Amino acid sequence: MLTAMVTPFTADGAVDYAGVQRLATYLVDEQRNDGLIVSGTTGESPTTSDQEKERILRAVLEAVGDRATIVAGAGSNDTPHSVELAKTAERAGAHGLLVVTPYYNKPPQEGLYRHFAAVADATGLPVMLYDIPGRSGVPIATNTLIRLAQHERIVAVKDAKGDLFAGSQVMMATELAFYSGDDLLNLAWLSVGASGFVSVVGHVVGAELAKMIGLYRNGEVERALAVHRQLVPVVDGIMMRAGGAIMVKAALDMVGVPTGPVRLPLVAADEKQIAELRACLVAGGVKLTDA
């Protein structure tokens, strides 16, 4: 169970490093996360500098690195930049790397292969590929994933492509560990062999998601399904409206773990979205402290 954590900011938009440590501690100690993704998309990585990313990573490692696996986002659409991000993360002490598909420039599959291989070659850290064509514009093809699996440090996939059959083919052909990168499909991914979740809603229901994984692993499928159904309103409220970082920060305010504003071009949830989110969280059994 991992959560792709948001980045707390102060009211004037600076990174709140003390808030980063408070949030990381909350996610590990109270929300039962086994690991955290730092400086992923939910962490607003497009609008944080490389220097901020390094300080955020070091803050998280200092707070919880002794009891959780800390995976640093090192993806970009510029291969040398990704390589440098990976090297910096290794020097800072990261336990692994998350490398997203290069976005906007829409490389061919051979370009994807060489990009991911170059980042994996750059450090001694294990690499989780992030397949999210809805944001990157390009899926990682099944054959490319199978080819990449031959690299000793490419060990996992965060899947937000949503093709359970293609994922099944890759899992049958390789030893890649798949993680659901789409909270809508968490239980579905477990059913075809996924290892766990890289969640967004785990900010507020991480403990319940960890419980779902445990139940499913123990063969208690009906009870796991009950947890899934309990959390449907939460996933609806956070993931189906203004988007991850915006709604997660609003949700964290409601549970008493404020993380400040978002940075432009993101904007805060409006009153209607806040009201809808509140209703969804209550329906999903989340205890609110601002009521």
Q: What is the mean pLDDT of each run of 10 residues along the chain (291 residues)?
A: 98 98 98 98 97 98 98 97 98 98 97 98 98 96 98 98 98 98 97 98 98 98 98 95 89 97 96 96 94 59
Entry pTM: 0.97
pLDDT (0 to 100) of residue 175? 98
DSSP, res 286: P
Task: Give dist(CA 4, CA 199) in Å, integer.
Answer: 6
Instruction: For residue 130, indicate whether it is catalytic.
Output: yes
Task: Give dist(CA 213, CA 191) in Å, integer.
Answer: 10
Task: Give dist(CA 85, CA 50) in Å, integer.
Answer: 7
pLDDT (0 to 100) of residue 291? 59
pLDDT (0 to 100) of residue 278? 97
pLDDT (0 to 100) of residue 240? 86
CA 244 centroid distance within chain: 10
Between helices 79-92 and 109-122, what is the axis angle to 10°? 30
DSSP, res 93: T
pLDDT (0 to 100) of residue 242? 73
Which residues does residue 35 pair with via DSSP β-bridges, in sequence order? 2, 69
Residue 274's H or E segment, with its range, is helix 271-283
Catalytic residue among 26, 103, 130, 179: 130
Q: 290 phi and psi, to 5 degrees?
A: -100, 5
| Angle at alpha carbon of residue 124, lines to 78 and 119, rounded to 5° | 15
Catalytic residue among 53, 158, 161, 249: 158
Closest of 7, 8, 10, 13 to residue 263, by C-alpha: 13
Instruction: For residue 158, indicate whether it is catalytic.
Output: yes
